[in-house]
């Protein structure tokens, strides 16, 4: 699992990394003991400053979500993050707000979005 940075979202890059890793762990995409990319590698992959990755990893380590072992790397910790309903709702609201803003910049209405989502759901 590699985080994806959205330059248009207005959410700081380090917060995007934190949130995406927490959600990936809570969904079971990442398991305790899984190795995470090095700071340098993730920074290169995402085309961002390594200090941004350091900030995200440091916050996740403080929260007990990841563990850094000197000389071995950074790993998913044994303490899974708890994503409560409020946090899930906040994330969904952010995603929807971003989607509406982006769609409206192309001239689409919320009704167009709903119709498109319904059609995608039917097709899948």
Domain boundaries along the sequence of the chain: 13-76, 85-123
**What tokens appear for 15 in the block?**
């917060």
Reply yes or no on domain 13-76 having CATH 1.10.10.10: yes
pTM greater than the 0.85 cutoff: no
Does residue 81 register a pLDDT over 90? no
- What is the number of alpha carbons within 13 Å of residue 51 lying toward its C-beta? 0
pLDDT in tens, 47-75: 999 999 999 999 999 999 999 998 899 99
């Amino acid at each position: 699992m590699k985080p994806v940075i959205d330059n248009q979202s207005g959410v700081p890059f380090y917060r995007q990394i934190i949130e995406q890793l927490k959600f990936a762990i809570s969904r079971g995409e990442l398991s305790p003991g899984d190795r995470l990319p090095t700071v340098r590698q993730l920074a290169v992959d995402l085309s961002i400053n390594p200090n941004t990755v350091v900030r995200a990893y440091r916050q996740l380590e403080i929260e007990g979500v990841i563990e850094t072992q000197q000389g071995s790397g950074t790993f998913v910790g044994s303490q899974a993050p708890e994503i409560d309903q409020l946090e899930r709702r906040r994330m969904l609201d952010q995603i929807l707000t971003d989607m509406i803003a982006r769609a409206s910049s192309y001239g689409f209405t919320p009704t167009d979005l709903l119709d498109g989502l319904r059609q995608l759901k039917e097709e899948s």
